[in-house]
Structures are given as structure tokens and as C-alpha cells.
Amino acid sequence: MSASIDIDVALGERRYPIRIGAGLLDDGAWRATLRGRHALVVTDDRVAPLYLARVRDALGTLAHDAVVLPAGESAKTLDNAARVLDALARLGASRDAAVVALGGGVVGDLAGFAAATWMRGIDFVQLPTTLLAMVDSSVGGKTGVNLAAGKNLVGAFHQPRAVFIDTATLATLPQREYAAGLAEVVKYGAIGDAAFFAWLEANADALNARDEDALAEAIAFSCRCKAGVVARDEREEGERALLNFGHTFGHALEAEQGYGALLHGEAVAIGMVLAASLSSRLGRAPAEDTERLLHLLSRFGLPVEPPRAEPDALLARMRLDKKNVSGRLRLILWRGIGNAEIVPDVDDAAVRGVLAAP
Ligand SMILES: NC(=O)c1ccc[n+]([C@@H]2O[C@H](COP(=O)([O-])OP(=O)(O)OC[C@H]3O[C@@H](n4cnc5c(N)ncnc54)[C@H](O)[C@@H]3O)[C@@H](O)[C@H]2O)c1
């Protein structure tokens, strides 16, 4: 096993570790963060055949069970959260029990939500296995499930007790899912660090080849960035909104295309290019920076042009975004690479213009 990287997430009095390294699933360190007599592993039916046995081995003689959900976003439901809660009841889990989330963001969000609500909140440990979950969803404590009325409508803030990122699990991740995770990595450079963005440009080939060192560095930078933002603004009252760069456009595209047609990271890639182009049209940012963003995302094999969609339909969806205030469109735009900003009152005509002809 190569050397691991440790990052501390500090939220006032509360803190938790993120550890990044190859082979961590077999390492006793994550097991040592469990405090009680019971553990419930939550995973999905694609990840279970690959990694569940190793996680169960690491749990050893601790009383534990596993819930295996169907893979995919459609499993992120209240019914499945109830399945996890029922399994905790069957296990006889008390307040010192822990939920262990083994999988991507779907498993992490749902397992975290169940942990937040069982006996008003028990520990949960994140063992993320997609790049998106490693760099984004496993850190920061947003948990939840979807309703028919919309994504993530039910949820709770509940920070994990620890996050253990075994980078070796990425070897089995399908290429499209891997690239979608890279979109979120690019986002961290785009919103707050021009030097990291330049590092990604220099290391794009290594990342495409899933080089272990380059990946560990990209994941560590992303986790540090997310941990820093969450530490300063846990409940998204200010700066945390910057993490949504590209997301208002992206969510509208995802919904308009029908969920599943575009992966979330793919929609975010297109959304970031739209946000960057809009910024330069509004005279807020240099057009060359949009070109650099577009080029980097393309090198990762990500889509950069919106699929055909009616601009007014997209605009109507963007109006439903949780970030809007008093019906005015509030978007995350940028001044250029490494410098995102919240713009509270963006002109509809300019947004329609960029949607009609990016
Ligand atoms: N909580 C947050 O802050 C936050 C942030 C971003 C996204 N999210 C949520 O994350 C979810 C998306 O997460 P995701 O992109 O990880 O999707 P996912 O959990 O659906 O995983 C994608 C696919 O990859 C498979 N998979 C996972 N790990 C694998 C591995 N190592 N090898 C082979 N296959 C593997 C899964 O079975 C699934 O089919 C969404 O529900 C989104 O709302 C949450």
C-alpha cells in the first residue's frame, strides 16, 4: 500500500478525518473509527460483488449486516431509506451503532440520511468508490433522498465520522462515470485556484490514464477545497454556494433531457462552460478563459455543448433553483479561472442568449 494522505475537516468543535490512499478498504484504520457494538453496511448491487466481502472481512467479529440496494439514482428513495432503518432495527442497533456507506453518491446520500434519522442521529463512515463521491458527495454532510417531485427534496445535514477513500477502487469504475467525476475536480480549480487549474492542464494525460499519484493529488486538493468551504459555511449561507458553479445550468439540462440521459458530472461540465460564456458576454471575464475550460473538459472526454433544448424551457427550470431569491435569477459566474462569484440578479435576456447560442 502506498503512503496515504490525511486531511482534517474542522467544523468548530467537531472534526473528522479524510484519509486517501490505495488499498484502504483492507486497512483496519476505518474499522477503528467505529465506536459501538453494531455496524450496518449499505451498498449497491454493482459495488457489492466487487468490494463488500473485503469490508465485511475488515469488520471481523463486530455484529454487522449489509443492505444491498439496486444500483442507480432511482434507488435513492424514502422506501429504500426505510429498508436501511428496518435493517438497523433488526440488528438491534443502539445509539452507538454506525452505518458504513460503501459506494457512490447515491449510497452515501441515502445511508447518511438513514444514519441522520436513526435514533435522531448515529455515526456514519463513508467509503466512497466513485470519483464523484470521493471528491464531492462524501465530504460535507449533505444527505438525503429524492421524491417523485424532485431530487434531494428530503434530507438532513449530518457529517460523517470519517471518510476513507480507497483510490484503488477506481480501477473498476466505468470510464463515463470516471470522466463525470473529473468534471467536479475541474470545478475546484475553476472556482478558486488558477494554479490547480494549470496543474490539471499539465496532468490531464496522467489523470486520463488513472495514474495513482496524479489521482491522489487531484482528490486531495478537491477534498481540501471542499473541507475548507464547508468549514467556513456548513449550511450554505454564503460561500458554499460557489460549489454550485455550472450546477444551475446543469440541473436544468439534466431535468429537461430526462434524468439519466446526461450524468450529473456531464451536465455540470456543460453548465460550467455556459456559466463561463455568460460571464464573458456580460463583460465580467476574459473569453480566453472559457476556451481553456472548454479545452480541458474536452480532454477529459466530457461534453461541452448543450444538447438541443428550448431556451425558454431551460430558463423556466433554472427559475426553480433553490439559490434564487425573490424570483430573481441568482447564478454562480466567474471573473475568470480561479475566481467564481455569486451574482444575485442576472438578466433573463442574457441567459436566454447564451442558451440559444453558446
Ligand atoms: N451529498 C452531496 O454533497 C452530493 C454532492 C454531489 C452529488 N451528490 C449525489 O451523488 C449522486 C451521484 O453519485 P455518483 O455519481 O457516485 O453515482 P452512483 O452512486 O449512482 O454511482 C454510479 C455508478 O457507478 C457504480 N459504481 C460505484 N463505484 C464503483 C466502482 N468502484 N466500480 C464499478 N462501479 C462502481 C454504481 O453502482 C453506479 O452504477 C447523486 O444522487 C447526487 O445527488 C451528493
pLDDT of 345 higher than 70: yes
Asked whether residue 91 falls in the same domain as residue 190, the answer is no
Q: Which residues of 151-164 are buried (b: 16+ CB within 10 A; e: fewer)?
A: beeebeebbbbbbb
- For a mutational test of ligand 1's pocket, the pick from 138, 177, 302, 322, i.e. the residue with the most ligand atoms closer than 8 A to its C-beta, is 177
| pLDDT tens per residue, range 61-75 | 999 999 999 999 999
**Of 209, 226, 207, residue with least CA distance to 217:** 207
Asked whether residue 72 falls in the same domain as residue 114, the answer is yes
Phi then psi for residue 119, to 5 deg, are 50, 40
Asked whether residue 10 falls in the same domain as residue 74, the answer is yes
Asked whether residue 166 falls in the same domain as residue 26, the answer is yes
Asked whether residue 162 falls in the same domain as residue 184, the answer is no
- The distance of Cα 180 from the centroid of its chain, to the nearest Å, equals 10
CATH code (residue 286): 1.20.1090.10
CB-CB contact of 25 with 50 (8 Å): no
Report CA(111)–ligand 1 centroid distance (Å): 12
In this structure, which amino acid lies at residue 278?
Answer: L
| pLDDT tens per residue, range 10-50 | 988 889 999 999 999 998 899 999 999 999 999 999 999 99
* Ligand 1 atom nearest 112 alpha carbon: 1
| pLDDT tens per residue, range 197-256 | 999 999 999 999 999 999 999 999 999 999 999 999 888 888 999 999 999 999 999 888
At residue 323, the pLDDT reads 67
Q: Indicate the residue among 123, 148, 172 that finishes a domain.
A: 172
Range of the domain at 126: 5-172
Asked whether residue 142 falls in the same domain as residue 237, the answer is no
Q: pLDDT over 70 for what percent of the chain? A: 98
The reply to whether 244 belongs to the active site is yes
Asked whether residue 279 falls in the same domain as residue 236, the answer is yes
Q: How confident is the model at residue 150 (pLDDT cuts 50, 70, 90)?
A: confident
Report CA(180)–ligand 1 centroid distance (Å): 10
Asked whether residue 122 falls in the same domain as residue 181, the answer is no
Asked whether residue 139 falls in the same domain as residue 188, the answer is no
Q: Indicate the residue among 154, 172, 190 that finishes a domain.
A: 172
H/E run at residue 2 = none
Q: Provide the domain count of the chain.
A: 2
Q: How far is CA 82 from CA 79, 148, 187, 255, in A?
A: 5, 16, 34, 26
At residue 10, the pLDDT reads 92
Asked whether residue 126 falls in the same domain as residue 89, the answer is yes
Asked whether residue 141 falls in the same domain as residue 179, the answer is no
Ligand 1: which residues within 6 Å by Cβ?
44, 46-47, 50, 71-73, 76, 103-107, 109, 129-130, 132-133, 136-137, 140, 142, 151-152, 169, 172-173, 177, 264
Quote the pTM value.
Answer: 0.96
| pLDDT tens per residue, range 28-39 | 899 999 999 999
- For a mutational test of ligand 1's pocket, the pick from 52, 137, 165, i.e. the residue with the most ligand atoms closer than 8 A to its C-beta, is 137
The reply to whether 142 belongs to the active site is yes
pLDDT of 3 higher than 90: no
Maximal C-alpha separation, the chain: 63
Average pLDDT, whole number, for the chain?
A: 94
Q: Indicate the residue among 172, 203, 228 that finishes a domain.
A: 172
- Please state, in angstroms and rounded to a whole number, the distance separating the CA atoms of residues 122 and 78: 18
At residue 30, the pLDDT reads 97
Asked whether residue 101 falls in the same domain as residue 231, the answer is no
- Please state, in angstroms and rounded to a whole number, the distance separating the CA atoms of residues 160 and 288: 40
- Please state, in angstroms and rounded to a whole number, the distance separating the CA atoms of residues 120 and 276: 42
